[in-house]
Amino acid sequence: MTQSLVEKIDALLPQTQCTKCGYSGCKPYAQAISENQAEINQCPPGGEAGIKKLASLLGVEEKPLNPKFGIEQPRKVAFIIEEDCIGCTKCLPPCPVDAILGANKQMHTVIADECTGCELCIAPCPVDCIIMQDIESPSWDQAMADHAKLRYKNKQQRLGKQLEEKAERLKKQKQILAKLKAKK
For residue 1, pLDDT over 60 is answered with: no
**2 pLDDT tier (thresholds 50, 70, 90):** low
Q: For the domain bounded by 5-69, which CATH number is listed?
A: 1.10.15.40
Angle of helix 26-34 relative to helix 5-12, nearest 10 degrees, comes to 130
Distance CA 43, CA 94 (A): 19
Q: What is the pLDDT of residues 28-76, one digit of tens each?
A: 999 999 999 999 999 999 999 999 999 999 999 999 999 999 999 999 9
Q: What is the pTM of this model?
A: 0.86
74-184 has the same fold as 5-69: no
CB 39 within 8 A of CB 12: no
Cβ atoms of 66 and 43 within 8 Å: the answer is no
Topology of domain 74-184, per CATH?
Answer: Alpha-Beta Plaits (3.30.70)
Where do the domains of the chain lie?
Answer: 5-69, 74-184
pLDDT digits (tens, 9 = 90+) for 112-124: 999 999 999 999 9
Return the ∠ at Cα 62 (arms to 28 and 32), rounded to 5°.
15
